[in-house]
Amino acid sequence: MNAKRDYYEVLGVDREASPEEIKKAYRKLAHQYHPDKNPGDRSSEERFKEIGEAYEILGNPEKRATYDRFGTASPGRGFEGFGGFESGFGSIFDDIFEGFFTGRAGRTTRGAQRGADLRYNLEIRFEEAATGGEKEIVIPRMESCHACRGTGAKAGTQPVTCRTCRGTGQVRYSQGFLTVSQTCGQCRGEGRVVEHPCPTCRGLGQVRAERTVTVKIPAGVENGTRLKLAGEGETGVRGGPPGDLYVVITVKEHPLFARQGDDLYCEIPVSFTQAALGAQIEIPTITGRVTLKIPAGSQTGSELRIKGKGLPNVRGYGRGDLVARIFVEVPTHLTAKQRDLLEQYARLEDGAGSPLVQGFWEKVKAIFD
Ligand SMILES: [Zn+2]
Ligand SMILES: [Zn+2]
């Protein structure tokens, strides 16, 4: 805040202005800078406040006389009664721009309030997603204070009706031509105040607590699934219902399996002789090993589907498959004997055994020759 400007300057009148002129100047400026007409404009808001302050003093002959003499309305004691006016203004603005001044604490709702929803990120192993199960998680949340049963008042005492607003939660105040109903600053609109705060919760009625919650993980749950646990969020205020707890599941990746829907994909490397001659090999599944027959002549990218060895469908519609994707490995280190045998084999190659190779060169020939 800047140092206070001269009130005459604020209203744009000279020091000899009549009460009528002051009133007229105030009305004009108050209309111009009224927050309803300048929503979200901070400088207008400041200006409107300043205009109100100036008129509070200059519009009152006694205060004006004091101000003229001492440069302040209440010499020696600061602006008496002025603090209330100012803080009152804060509340008016709260009401006008509800949800805009996010920095201000204290809701103005009187009645029961639903507790906040909570979110918990739960990371599980791939196998846990496959089988499902239960997991215990610890949730830090606000709970109703046991010592005062949520009232915020010290044991043996009760919150009392607010004297400022007589329990209505609203006070009316008129300022010049404006009459405004505003939230009571004393009780923050609740109509009741705690005179002797509960020592456990310091009058809040709520305490921070850790609660263990069991989460049922459905078999086949997917990464990013959001599970809703109704009523496990924060406790409501003044008897309001609790919020909900949302558990967001992150499934860790598996070193062997990749998921696609309910199917699992696993890349299976085979030697080039296994691919050429066919073989029986053991491959992993999510629940253990199974024997897989590699047909003779399998290629890199060939897919072999093993029914029912995928993941259970999360809605209970059976199970997916395991798809073994073949990858043929060409040997990189040959012994002299292996090399000799392969050279013998190469001399026996007649092309008919390699349809892809043959087909490719036929295409090349058709284009270029
Ligand atoms: Zn009150
Ligand atoms: Zn308490």
pLDDT per residue as tens digits for the range 177-203: 777 788 888 888 888 888 899 999 888
Which residues are CB-neighbours of 14 under 8 A, at least 6 positions away?
8
CA of 84 to the centre of ligand 1 (A): 13
Crossing angle of the two packed helices 61-70 and 42-58, in degrees rounded to 10: 100
Rounded-to-integer distance, Cα 32 and Cα 26, Å = 10
Ligand closest to 190 (CA) is 1
Which residues are CB-neighbours of 346 under 8 A, at least 6 positions away?
none
Q: Which of 272, 269, 268 is nearest to 332 (CA)?
A: 272
Which pair of structure tokens corresponds to residue 123? 């990371």
Looking at the chain, which runs of residues are DSSP E strands?
118-124, 133-144, 160-161, 170-175, 178-183, 192-193, 206-217, 226-229, 245-251, 258-260, 263-271, 279-285, 288-294, 303-306, 322-329
CA of 111 to the centre of ligand 2 (A): 19
Which pair of structure tokens corresponds to residue 322? 């395991």
CA of 198 to the centre of ligand 2 (A): 5
Surrounding ion ligand 1 within 5 Å at CB are 162, 164-165, 184, 186-187
Q: pTM for this one?
A: 0.56
Rounded-to-integer distance, Cα 85 and Cα 169, Å = 17
Which residues are CB-neighbours of 327 under 8 A, at least 6 positions away?
267, 268, 269, 270, 300, 301
pLDDT digits (tens, 9 = 90+) for 256-313: 999 999 999 999 999 999 999 999 999 999 989 999 999 999 999 999 999 999 999 9
CA of 140 to the centre of ligand 2 (A): 18
* pLDDT string in tens for the chain (369-residue length): 345 678 888 898 888 888 888 989 988 888 888 877 787 788 888 888 888 888 888 888 877 877 777 666 544 333 332 333 333 333 333 333 333 333 333 344 456 788 889 999 999 999 999 999 999 999 888 888 888 888 888 888 888 899 888 888 888 877 777 777 888 888 888 888 888 999 998 888 888 888 899 999 999 999 999 999 999 988 887 778 889 999 999 999 999 999 999 999 999 999 999 999 999 999 999 989 999 999 999 999 999 999 999 999 999 899 999 999 999 999 999 999 999 999 999 888 877 778 888 899 999 999 998
DSSP strand pairing (206-217 vs 226-229): unpaired
The number of angstroms, rounded, from the C-alpha of 331 to the middle of its chain's C-alpha atoms is: 53
Cβ atoms of 305 and 363 within 8 Å: the answer is no
CA of 171 to the centre of ligand 1 (A): 8
- φ, ψ of residue 327 to 5 degrees: the values are -130, 120
Burial class (CB in 10 A: 0-12, 13-18, 19+), 176: middle
CA of 186 to the centre of ligand 1 (A): 5
CA of 294 to the centre of ligand 2 (A): 70
Ligand closest to 208 (CA) is 2
CA of 197 to the centre of ligand 2 (A): 8
CA of 310 to the centre of ligand 2 (A): 53
Q: Which of 204, 184, 230 is nearest to 90 (CA)?
A: 184
CA of 146 to the centre of ligand 2 (A): 6
CA of 183 to the centre of ligand 1 (A): 8
